[in-house]
Amino acid sequence: MNKKISAVYPGSFDPPTNGHLDIVNKSSCLFSKIIVAVTDNINKKYTFSLHKRVDLLQKSTKHLKNIRVVSFSGLLADYLGKINSFILIRGLRALSDFEYEFQLALMNRKLNKRIETIFLIPDQSYAFLSSSMVKEVAMLGGDTADFVPSCVEEELKKHFANLSKFHCEK
């Protein structure tokens, strides 16, 4: 792998999990620079604000020198053209991810034929992790310490404590 090439790792990161961070770690060893691009899609409802998702990723990757966390809205292919970076990193957990990720990779290449998608497989211990499952566990009062960095764990506790307070007060 050419160490002088940068790559973009896009995603919702709502919130970032240890699975996402495993992919960031792996890709930071393969490329000279990784741009973690946090999506802000107006058609999607996020649990955490864009600002919070960027902040949590910055905190959890600050030990890595070649990572930059940014946000973008609109078409990913347009964003890649704007920053002149055409390698996309995506994580592949299981067969269930494959169909969607395959379609997405082909669509991005159709939109701009310079775009190449590279799939990285997380360590086995993260293969079952998803942001939505972590939120479900946190919402039901479960311990998320093994699944997310500590800054995210704190944020999950705060978010779901506020929600349950709101429900009790109603």
Contacting ligand ADP within 64-93 (CB under 6 A):
90-91, 93
Hey, which residues does 87 pair with through a beta bridge?
116
**149 binds ligand ADP, rule: CB under 6 A:** no
Asked if 19 touches ligand ADP (CB under 6 A), the answer is: yes
Q: Which residues 82-141 are close enough to bind ligand ADP by CB under 6 A?
A: 90-91, 93, 97, 122, 126, 129-131
* Active site (annotated) includes residue 62: no
Residue 96 or residue 162: which is nearer to ligand ADP going by CB? 96
Q: Does 40 bind ligand ADP (CB under 6 A)?
A: no
Residue closer to ligand ADP, measured from CB, 46 or 160:
46
Q: Which residue, 4 or 45, is less far from ligand ADP as judged by CB?
A: 45
Alpha-carbon distance 25 to 114, whole Å? 25
Q: Whose CA is closest to 101, among 7, 1, 10? A: 10
Considering the candidates 93, 109, 130, 159, report the single residue annotated as catalytic.
93
Query: How far, in Å, are 22, 23, 36, 140, 155 from residue 136 at the CA level?
Result: 21, 22, 24, 6, 14
Residue of 85, 90, 131, 135 marked active site: 131
11, HSE (Cβ side, Cα atoms, 13 Å) = 24
Task: Name every residue whose Cβ is closer than 8 Å to that of residue 68 and which is 6 or more positions away in sequence.
Answer: 33, 34, 35, 36
Catalytic center residues = 20, 44, 93, 131
